[in-house]
Structure 1
Amino acid sequence: ALLGYDWQLELGDAVALTAQSTTDLLISDLPVGYYPKDEVAHYQVNAAPEKTFAHHLLIEQGMRQLIPGGLGIFVAPANLFESDQAKQLLGYLQSDEVYLQGMLRFPDKLFVDPAVAKVLLILQRAGAQATQVEPVMLGQIPEVANKAANAQFISEFSTWMQDNHLKMPQD
């Protein structure tokens, strides 16, 4: 409101949304836990008969909200691919619907408990001119206090984005 934008916010269940393909960039800090509504969790990442991880469902749902070629950037648990439900998530990420473009681990010092460490997961919805990048960006984000390492990281990351034609939307 301070910037003069017309905001319309609605409270709702993000997993149960039905609208699709409306945006070109999605940024999400994923909640971790089990999603309670089995009747809604009809996704490729579904772990039935067990409860499915909400963060897995929200990744798939978030990618559905993107236009073809849109980018999804998710703050996700660092152990994303180590759980008993990782097989379903990996299956979805290897489907023809989405490209896993990168995964960057946040500095360990950001987290008091290593069990809650996070990564930045970079996905792209298939379609338009989107292609799987080669190589996938895998790395460690430098410690905040290390200015030289951060400058080098930003430079390398920007070059990787340009080389792979991954563009952030412009105003």
Structure 2
Amino acid sequence: MTQSMLPEEIINLARRVIDENRAIGRKVALAESCTGGLVAAALTEIPGSSAVLDRGYVTYSNEAKREALGVSGDVIEAFGAVSIACVYAMAQGALMNSDADVAVAISGIAGPDGGSEFKPVGTVVFARAMRDSEEREAESKLFENEDRGGVRYQATLCALELLLP
């Protein structure tokens, strides 16, 4: 058996996500931007992940967010791709275009470029949407003093945490 290329901390958390969601019969969907599919990759490292992971979208460009997830161009123009409004719309789009019970979305500025005074490098926004629920959960985090890989690593851990029941 080959060893995963992902860090043990991510694999262990992904295993919890799969085990705990499988135990309650819950399916998940993902809408990833700055993580580029790392959350889906972590989940699919775990045997039995197909019982939990319904699908994942990597919507790196604004066009992909609009086309695949139905994010309004007005939302992206008004608030930006790295915003609670956009990421919540991404989560809603992933949920509506899947058979999942919960969807998590991630968008951020991993760097080294692309940051601004108001959204510096290391800014990552997360959202979770639940089917048949008005519950809205979204937050913005700043992973300071991290390189590109560090931002993506931290974002992957946070997204996995949001997938726990």
Q: What TM-score does the superposition give when structure 1 sets the normalisation length?
A: 0.32
Larger of the two Rg values belongs to structure: 1
- TM-score of the superposed pair, with normalisation by structure 2: 0.33
* Higher helix fraction (1 or 2): 2
Name which structure has the greater RCO, CA cutoff 8 Å, separation 6+: 2
